[in-house]
Structure 1
Amino acid sequence: MSESERPSSPASAFDPASATITIVTYNRSSLLSRLLQSIARMDPKPGHVVIIDNASVDDTASVIDTFRDRIGTEIVYRRLETNTGGSGGFSEGMRVAYELGAEWIWLMDDDVEVIPDGLARMGAWAPRFRSIQGRRYDYDGSEFYWQYRIAESMGIPIPFAPAGFDRSGYKEMNSGCFEGMFIHRDIVAKIGLPDPRFFIYWDDQLYGWLASRHTTSVIVNEFVLRRTREIKQWDMGIRHMNASSDAYRYYIMRNRAIIKQYYRSLDVYRPALFGLGTALTFGKELIRLLFVERTVRGTSNLFRGLRDGRQIARDDSWAPMPPLEAATAQA
């Protein structure tokens, strides 16, 4: 977007050093290296870069060491003992960044790179909003469309939410994506850390939805990231559908039960509509198998996820992640 369309604010309103970039990685040192190279080129740079390693067995640690003296900001590296999935990694990364005192936490996977002035672009919106999502370019340089709104009662993304922006440069959202979420510590304190029980999938949508219940969450017309890994896609014209995996198929269905539990705890659960959302999710994954991956193998993982999800939904001891501000008050 043009400079005239960006929010105007004093230069002192956002301090780049108050931001921490939090990265989750797993056995993809070459992609991580490319991301760290892009951070080294950033201007301005964040105060810290937190890297959560999900028990990689490649040369991730040594690659990180090569950047400590040339990235231009402090690297905080944590290698977990086991692979906790993206959900566990982002939960731990958020915790570390929060304890470092970060005012702003910028989350991203290892398969993106940062546009050099990306932090300045996000920071320009920081005086107005507390939960911000930037835009990204896809692997081929095209503009990636992210489904920024969900049908709350069904707990699923709205695929036809308008893609265009007006002159305000932003649109309200009620979702989230850990590939670029830029969130203020005050909101993290209210809703707690991302829930590691998801392992993968739905965790960021749920977290963004929780944030939107406490603040005006927005996606802004700022391209700040670029994907560096090619993913097989089905081109649907104005939309794309990516290839998946057996693990994703399993967790897509199983984790519907975790969302259900959150909805119950917040008294927004509507059984019929949420059930419809689950059925539509199942159907979408069947379409993905047929038209993207050209197979019917993998449907057993969808049914297995549904089965295991029923156990989660029946767990009377289940509780949502606690807010951090309550823990701070008790300390």
Structure 2
Amino acid sequence: MTKTLAPAPDATLPASFDPATATIVIVTYNRSHLLRGLLESIVRMDPKPGHVVVVDNASADDTTEVVESFRARLGSELVYRRLEENTGGSGGFSEGMRVAYELGSEWIWLMDDDVEVMPDGLTRMGVWTPRFKSIQGRRYDYDGSEFYWQYRVSPSLGIPIPFAPADFDASGYREMNSGCFEGMFIHRDIVRQVGLPDPRFFIYWDDQTYGWLASRLTTSVIVNEFVLRRTRELKQWDMGIRHLNASSNAYRYYIMRNRGIMKHYFQAHGAYRPVRYTLGTALTFVKELIRLVAVERTVRGTSNLFRGIRDGRRIAADPTWKTMPALDAS
């Protein structure tokens, strides 16, 4: 994105935003060394959130010990949820959002364990809260470059729009109709209406779908505020301002399978267009083939794409399948 950072709209937090009502939700799995770095960055935050919720997807490393070592240092109430099995990022964020919502959090800030938070991150997000209820900040990549995130999607195709403008004007924000759980900052009113993230995705398309649902209820924005930094290096194909990251067999499977789940959400909200959506599925398949060849230098792994297509069709054809319900008003 743009190389010039827009200053925060105000140097101080608005009176309507209380940092103590915000909760950071972290999902982690067998990456205690990365989680440690994230928790260290939260210790350095000023101001700090009222709560930090760590959802552990049944890690086999020393994640529990790492979390407990920060209990006295965070300056926030720490809530640790260790799940009995790995539910994927989708299940982890669903559980984390549920916990944060039941804590009474006004604002919920979601993030993976492979980022760090800027010390003034909560201030930079908080200054936008009088205007918006679904906010995405920006992040630096592992090498310090500016990460470009595809913040617009085509509902009819069900895929991100890769050529959405990358720069910002004087307003300091752009409207989005997507979402990313690596940095989504969302108000409880929107969570109540949308419901919890769907754990059945396991990984992939879950945050995009959730962000799209949120954008139907409120003006969702990505703001020109750098609030996160990625701490894990990924193999990638650099195409200038755009790039393709390396993937895995699990991602290849779920990126195709979960289009069956997405179809149900688009159908439920009157946005499903069969021909265009099928085209979007084909484009996704081609993109993953390109990723295999250009980034991972192999053609092995295509069987996972075909398995995902097969299982996705079964999900799409299931008449008993229901989308996640809204939460009770509170």
TM-score (norm 2): 0.97
- Match of 1:234? 237
CA distance in 1, matches of 2:9, 2:169: 12
CA distance in 2, matches of 1:175, 1:100: 26
Give yes or no for contact 1:138–1:226 (8 Å, CA) kept in 2: yes
Give yes or no for contact 1:29–1:58 (8 Å, CA) kept in 2: yes
Could you tell me how far 1:8 is from its partner in structure 2? 8.2
Could you tell me how far 1:2 is from its partner in structure 2? 4.4
Q: Which runs of 4+ in 1 moved over 2 A?
A: 7-11
- Match of 1:211? 214
Could you tell me how far 1:72 is from its partner in structure 2? 1.2
- Match of 1:150? 153
| 1:161 is the counterpart of 2:172 | no
Higher share in helix: 1
Could you tell me how far 1:151 is from its partner in structure 2? 1.0
Residues 250-269 of structure 1: pairs in structure 2 closer than 5 A:
250-269=253-272
CA distance in 2, matches of 1:269, 1:144: 30
| 1:185 is the counterpart of 2:188 | yes
CA distance in 2, matches of 1:240, 1:275: 24
1:24 to 24, 27, 37: 27
Give yes or no for contact 2:155–2:266 (8 Å, CA) kept in 1: no
CA distance in 2, matches of 1:84, 1:215: 29
CA distance in 2, matches of 1:200, 1:324: 22
2:143 to 140, 143, 148: 140
Could you tell me how far 1:265 is from its partner in structure 2? 1.2
Q: Percent of pairs identical after alignment?
A: 75
| 1:309 is the counterpart of 2:312 | yes
SS across alignment from 1:129: coil
Could you tell me how far 1:7 is from its partner in structure 2? 5.6
Give yes or no for contact 1:7–1:125 (8 Å, CA) kept in 2: no
CA distance in 2, matches of 1:11, 1:209: 27
SS across alignment from 1:11: coil
Residues 252-291 of structure 1: pairs in structure 2 closer than 5 A:
252-291=255-294
**Residues 94-128 of structure 1 deviation map (CA, whole Å, 9 limit, x = unaligned):** 00000000000000000000000000000000010
TM-score (norm 1): 0.97
- Match of 2:114? 111
Could you tell me how far 1:11 is from its partner in structure 2? 3.2
| 1:293 is the counterpart of 2:296 | yes
SS across alignment from 1:105: strand
Give yes or no for contact 1:131–1:182 (8 Å, CA) kept in 2: yes
SS across alignment from 1:226: strand
Q: What residue ranges of structure 1 are gaps of 5+ in the alignment?
A: none
Residues 44-59 of structure 1: pairs in structure 2 closer than 5 A:
44-59=47-62
Could you tell me how far 1:71 is from its partner in structure 2? 1.2
SS across alignment from 1:75: strand
CA distance in 1, matches of 2:287, 2:239: 13
Give yes or no for contact 1:9–1:127 (8 Å, CA) kept in 2: no
Could you tell me how far 1:297 is from its partner in structure 2? 0.1
The number of equivalent residue pairs is 326
- Match of 1:318? 321
CA distance in 1, matches of 2:227, 2:6: 14
**Residues 123-159 of structure 1 deviation map (CA, whole Å, 9 limit, x = unaligned):** 0000100000000000000000000000111010000
CA distance in 1, matches of 2:69, 2:317: 48
Worse overlay, 285-294 or 64-73: 64-73
What amino acid is aligned across from residue 64 of structure 2 in structure 1?
A: A
SS across alignment from 1:247: helix
For the aligned residues, what is the CA RMSD? Answer: 1.2
Mark the CA change 1:236 to 1:318 in structure 2 (over 3 Å): closer, same or farther: same
Give yes or no for contact 1:35–1:114 (8 Å, CA) kept in 2: yes
CA distance in 1, matches of 2:14, 2:128: 12
**Residues 28-62 of structure 1 deviation map (CA, whole Å, 9 limit, x = unaligned):** 00000000000000000000000000000110000
2:80 to 77, 81, 88: 77
What amino acid is aligned across from residue 179 of structure 2 in structure 1?
A: G
Give yes or no for contact 2:23–2:100 (8 Å, CA) kept in 1: yes
- Match of 1:66? 69
Mark the CA change 1:10 to 1:109 in structure 2 (over 3 Å): closer, same or farther: closer
